[in-house]
Chain A
Amino acid sequence: MQLDAESLTESESSLSIAVLVSVGRHPLTGRPRRADQDARALEMAFSVAGAAPALLHAGPCDDPSEDALRCYLGMGGGTDLDSLIVLEQTADADIIPALADELTALGPQLVLCGTRAETGESSGMLPYLLAERLGWPIITGVAEIESIHEGVVVALQALPRGQRRRLSVRLPAIATADSAAPAPRASAYGPAMRGALTFSNTGSADDEARQDWLVSPARKRPKRLKIITATSARERFKAAAAKSQGGGGKVLKDLSPEAAAEAIQALLKEEGVLR
């Protein structure tokens, strides 16, 4: 590790990282805030030695969302980070083209963002669509960036139940921060207010796919009942503390894409998702 850190500071001193940030929403009160995973992505960018993160936001920008965006700038106290590029978009625009154009112009080696936004469609599709458009590889759900050396990023991907998978990916690449990534530092008011929002004048492309959609309020999803047949307190505790054992699950390895797709389809039919 020691060696890695040293080589990082030596050879990658001019590493440019772009962090895509969005306006979050507090789960209880719905007030605008910095999105948790996006803030973790910025924290992750700070953790890379010698990196100079650039902040990028695409979307509509009014006063409350400006305050929320400034929270990211508030994390930049004591670093060089003092501005945020805003690509102002209409509320129902497709932000992928604008982001892709801006990223092409900026030319970062690594793009970091949260796995899923807290507002808007919140589909989690943005990093994939962006990677597809730019033709870059994508690493999802990153918990930690271990090193960036000679154009290769080594990252730990967060898997369920605290498992980690080490991935080496050639740059340029897109990485999304998982909720398991280190908690973001506090946002300080002074740097947040002093930081600059640079408005970049780009057109907004209409989101054609979205025009056909019917938007309705979300329903609460039914929860699978967990039937516990415990007779003692100890067993009840064990059942409550135990991780859910799928039981019926299967591990399929070395499958052809077609066979894998068939297996998924079969499961979806079995669960009644597909009819």
Chain B
Amino acid sequence: MLDQLLPVLIIAALALAVVGAARRVFLWRRGRPSPVAFFSGLISMPRRYLVDLHHVVARDKYISRTHVATAGGFVVAAILAIVVHGFGLDSTLLAWLLIASALCMFVGSLFVAKRRADPPDRLSKGPWMRLPKSLMAFSLGVFLVTLPTAGVVPADIGGWALAAGLSGVVAWGLGEMFLGMTWGGPMKHAFAGALHLAFHRRPERFGGGRSTGLKALDLSDREAPLGAGKPEDFKWNQLLGFDACVQCGRCEAVCPAFAAGQPLNPKKLIQDMVVGLAGGTDAGYHGSPYPGKPVGEHSGAPHQAIVARQGKALVDPETLWSCTTCRACVEECPMMIEHVDAIVDMRRHITLELGVTPDKGVQVIENLIATDNPSGFSPDSRMHWAADLNLPLMSEKGSADVLLWMGDGAFDQRNQRTLRALVQILRAANVDFAVLGNDERDSGDLARRLGDEATFQSLARRNIATLANAEFESIVTCDPHSFHVLKNEYPELGGSYTVYHHSTFIADLMANNRFQVTPWKGNSVTYHDPCYLGRYNGEYEAPRNVLKALGMDVVEMQRSGYKSRCCGGGGAAPVIDIPGKRRIPDMRMEDIRETGAELVAVGCPQCTAMLEGVVEPSPQVRDIAELVAANLVEPAPQKPLSPSRPTVEVMH
């Protein structure tokens, strides 16, 4: 009886799965076109799955081993089950292989069940709680029905009752594993995830690469709505990416806004996008909600607005404005989903189409348009901080080895100290440098993160035109945000430069003994990785090398390097300032205090401002440039000053 029933079950499940898959593909294709390398993407998919994805999963060894056993066992078992039971290929060898893979999967599912016994908060519950049982049903069912095929037990063992029971178990397993994969069950992540890896919008990320710059919006098409106002305004492969989410909640665990009690949870946001692309309400979501926002009150559809002008739609605007664009979620996501891209796309719609950027954001944008800096200072006062420094200007000098990009920190008294220190170092190392002076404008980072792509592109194009008139080998800046934008976001608009963050440049100068330092005589020091230097640009070593070269003993925080926690200063978050239960910089300062360090070295004006804004007593906050400059052995002046006063002839 099983012999007749199994092929029917398997073929029926497969056929239904194919129907579901077609429906799902249709849902994704409602998104806007986005060209992908179709065949090469498909071909490189297994490698992306086995290497790049596994690399991220393996940060949690328990679940990576569990996943290898379960998923590996399942893939082999599923293929063999289709061949052996679906098409009735009578091969003892294959049957034994099938038994082995089913067993492997069963062992894996035991560990899944163990993780699910007392699941951490970040994991979604609901249908996900039945997944270990379904995995067991499939593996155990396949194992048992294959025993006769392998000749272990006689084919006619048991009666019709046993056969019916077994069929039921297998049907449950098939239902979850085959149907659930394409009809929206927990196993959807395998199907959508595989295709997402194949058609990822940032294929550069695979194979150890990096792609972090936001993608430019085409402003020439006057008719197309700007940004993502409806789920179908996303690119189709973005929608596919949302569907790949496995709800592991790693993003939630690292999100600074979520930890601060602001109404953002990256996992819920991605699930809301899935609700939007498929239509319905968020009542079916079983994970942690946005802090302070109950689940079940929001709904959406592919053609419905994500953010309503009035009332509730799919997502509330404060959720989108809570993000600091620190990219911790993207870094942690095993499915390599691009949360920040999606958030900025929706912010673009809010700013460019609805014009309802929260209050301070509007002011910042208007200042950027009128004065080229976010605070509305006169553009002629950009060089005031350096009135006594006699800095060489590019407009006078024409060319220099290094262009020192001052950034908007030039208007900020705290950052002016960093800039002065950096100038002191450059001079000590005899670097041939110049500044753009008042010709420099805001890089556009803030405008872009506020969703104002038009102002960003206007600033960027004017900066690129200014830079085209200057001759230099590289740009050095002490602002990681400017660094990132100049390095990674200007090339798309026609400006490609060699850009260094000052920590990289100073590390290089020190490695070449371009200046001397006295050893550091203070206590222990810790280092805070700026998001836009670390996760965005992969520079973790240079700042630490500088500190070590100064003779410092760097104590690492629990969350450092790629796991570094944001200071709360990025992505226009301080401008919009969505209220939460705690402040992000307070949490970061707590991390710093835990190390017992008396001083925290930073490399970003935003981080400096945010961390220094924490209530004292707290460790001192110093930029790397300040630390180096303070320990600089000033080179002997080239012309020794005469010891006595110059004689002055007094005429009467």
**Which A residues are closer than 8 A to B by beta carbons?**
26, 28-29, 31, 33, 74-75, 77-78, 185-191, 193-194
Task: Decide: A187 and B379 in contact? CB cutoff 8 A.
Answer: no
Annotate B345-372 by CB proximity to A: 1 below 8 A, 0 otherwise: 0000001111111000010011001110
- The CA-CA distance from A186 to B371 in the complex, in Å, is 17
Determine if B174 is an interface residue (Cβ-Cβ < 8 Å). Answer: no
- The CA-CA distance from A26 to B352 in the complex, in Å, is 21
Task: Decide: A187 and B355 in contact? CB cutoff 8 A.
Answer: yes
- The CA-CA distance from A189 to B454 in the complex, in Å, is 7
* Residues on B with beta carbons closer than 8 Å to the beta carbon of A78: 309, 354
Determine if B376 is an interface residue (Cβ-Cβ < 8 Å). Answer: yes
Q: List 29 A-B contacts (CB under 8 A).
A: A28-B371, A28-B378, A29-B370, A29-B371, A29-B378, A31-B369, A31-B370, A77-B353, A78-B309, A185-B355, A185-B356, A186-B351, A186-B355, A186-B356, A186-B362, A186-B365, A187-B355, A188-B352, A188-B354, A189-B226, A189-B352, A189-B453, A189-B454, A190-B352, A190-B353, A191-B355, A193-B222, A194-B222, A194-B223
- The CA-CA distance from A137 to B380 in the complex, in Å, is 45
- The CA-CA distance from A185 to B357 in the complex, in Å, is 10
Determine if B452 is an interface residue (Cβ-Cβ < 8 Å). Answer: yes
- The CA-CA distance from A28 to B354 in the complex, in Å, is 28
B453 to chain A, nearest CB (A): 8
Task: Decide: B376 and A28 in contact? CB cutoff 8 A.
Answer: yes
Task: Decide: A188 and B355 in contact? CB cutoff 8 A.
Answer: yes
Count chain B CB atoms within 10 A of each CB in A31, A78, A188 and give the residue with the most.
Answer: A188
* Residues on B with beta carbons closer than 8 Å to the beta carbon of A190: 225-226, 352-353
- The CA-CA distance from A201 to B362 in the complex, in Å, is 35
- The CA-CA distance from A194 to B366 in the complex, in Å, is 20
A76 to chain B, nearest CB (A): 9
A52 to chain B, nearest CB (A): 18
* Residues on B with beta carbons closer than 8 Å to the beta carbon of A187: 355
* Residues on A with beta carbons closer than 8 Å to the beta carbon of B353: 77, 188, 190-191
A37 to chain B, nearest CB (A): 15
- The CA-CA distance from A35 to B53 in the complex, in Å, is 54
* Residues on B with beta carbons closer than 8 Å to the beta carbon of A77: 353-355
Quick one: which of B489-508 are within 8 Å of A by CB?
Answer: none
* Residues on A with beta carbons closer than 8 Å to the beta carbon of B357: 186
The DSSP consensus for interface residues of chain A is loop
- The CA-CA distance from A88 to B407 in the complex, in Å, is 41
B224 to chain A, nearest CB (A): 9
Number of interface residues of B (CB under 8 A): 25
- The CA-CA distance from A186 to B223 in the complex, in Å, is 21
* Residues on A with beta carbons closer than 8 Å to the beta carbon of B226: 189-190
A119 to chain B, nearest CB (A): 14
- The CA-CA distance from A77 to B371 in the complex, in Å, is 25
* Residues on A with beta carbons closer than 8 Å to the beta carbon of B369: 31, 33
* Residues on B with beta carbons closer than 8 Å to the beta carbon of A31: 369-370
Quick one: which of B334-354 are within 8 Å of A by CB?
Answer: 351-354
* Residues on B with beta carbons closer than 8 Å to the beta carbon of A188: 351-355
Q: What residue of chain B has the Cβ atom nearest to residue A193's Cβ?
A: B222
* Residues on A with beta carbons closer than 8 Å to the beta carbon of B354: 77-78, 188
Task: Decide: B222 and A26 in contact? CB cutoff 8 A.
Answer: no
Count chain B CB atoms within 10 A of each CB in A26, A33, A75, A189 and give the residue with the most.
Answer: A189
* Residues on B with beta carbons closer than 8 Å to the beta carbon of A191: 353, 355
A51 to chain B, nearest CB (A): 18
Q: Given A78-B309, A189-B226, A190-B225, does the pair A29, B379 have CB atoms closer than 8 Å? A: yes
Quick one: which of B375-401 are within 8 Å of A by CB?
Answer: 376, 378-379
A187 to chain B, nearest CB (A): 6
- The CA-CA distance from A17 to B362 in the complex, in Å, is 27
* Residues on B with beta carbons closer than 8 Å to the beta carbon of A75: 355
B292 to chain A, nearest CB (A): 26
Count chain A CB atoms within 10 A of each CB in B225, B226, B357, B453 and give the residue with the most.
Answer: B226
A84 to chain B, nearest CB (A): 16
* Residues on A with beta carbons closer than 8 Å to the beta carbon of B356: 185-186
Question: Other CB < 8 Å A-B pairs besides A188-B355, A191-B353, 11 of them?
Answer: A26-B371, A28-B378, A29-B378, A31-B370, A77-B353, A185-B356, A186-B356, A189-B219, A189-B226, A190-B225, A193-B219
- The CA-CA distance from A26 to B368 in the complex, in Å, is 12
A20 to chain B, nearest CB (A): 22
Give 10 nearest A-B pairs by CB, closest first.
A188-B355, A186-B362, A26-B370, A190-B353, A189-B454, A186-B355, A189-B352, A190-B226, A190-B352, A28-B378
* Residues on A with beta carbons closer than 8 Å to the beta carbon of B351: 186, 188-189
- The CA-CA distance from A33 to B366 in the complex, in Å, is 9
- The CA-CA distance from A31 to B458 in the complex, in Å, is 14
* Residues on A with beta carbons closer than 8 Å to the beta carbon of B365: 186
Q: What residue of chain A has the Cβ atom nearest to residue B358's Cβ?
A: A186
* Residues on A with beta carbons closer than 8 Å to the beta carbon of B362: 186
* Residues on B with beta carbons closer than 8 Å to the beta carbon of A28: 370-371, 376, 378
* Residues on B with beta carbons closer than 8 Å to the beta carbon of A74: 355
A185 to chain B, nearest CB (A): 6
Task: Decide: B370 and A33 in contact? CB cutoff 8 A.
Answer: yes
- The CA-CA distance from A191 to B366 in the complex, in Å, is 17
Annotate B219-262 by CB proximity to A: 1 below 8 A, 0 otherwise: 10011011000000000000000000000000000000000000
* Residues on A with beta carbons closer than 8 Å to the beta carbon of B355: 74-75, 77, 185-188, 191
B363 to chain A, nearest CB (A): 9
- The CA-CA distance from A187 to B354 in the complex, in Å, is 9
B12 to chain A, nearest CB (A): 49
- The CA-CA distance from A185 to B362 in the complex, in Å, is 9
* Residues on A with beta carbons closer than 8 Å to the beta carbon of B379: 29
- The CA-CA distance from A72 to B225 in the complex, in Å, is 19
Q: What residue of chain B has the Cβ atom nearest to residue A33's Cβ?
A: B370
- The CA-CA distance from A187 to B362 in the complex, in Å, is 9
- The CA-CA distance from A189 to B370 in the complex, in Å, is 15
- The CA-CA distance from A74 to B355 in the complex, in Å, is 8
B87 to chain A, nearest CB (A): 56
- The CA-CA distance from A197 to B309 in the complex, in Å, is 26
- The CA-CA distance from A33 to B376 in the complex, in Å, is 14
* Residues on A with beta carbons closer than 8 Å to the beta carbon of B371: 26, 28-29
Q: What residue of chain B has the Cβ atom nearest to residue A187's Cβ?
A: B355
B68 to chain A, nearest CB (A): 48
Q: What residue of chain B has the Cβ atom nearest to residue A34's Cβ?
A: B366
Count chain A CB atoms within 10 A of each CB in B309, B355, B365 and give the residue with the most.
Answer: B355
Q: What residue of chain A has the Cβ atom nearest to residue B357's Cβ?
A: A186
- The CA-CA distance from A207 to B515 in the complex, in Å, is 69
* Residues on B with beta carbons closer than 8 Å to the beta carbon of A193: 219, 222
B378 to chain A, nearest CB (A): 5
- The CA-CA distance from A251 to B353 in the complex, in Å, is 51
Count chain B CB atoms within 10 A of each CB in A26, A28, A191 and give the residue with the most.
Answer: A28
* Residues on B with beta carbons closer than 8 Å to the beta carbon of A194: 222-223
- The CA-CA distance from A175 to B520 in the complex, in Å, is 69
B446 to chain A, nearest CB (A): 15
- The CA-CA distance from A128 to B343 in the complex, in Å, is 49
Q: What residue of chain B has the Cβ atom nearest to residue A75's Cβ?
A: B355
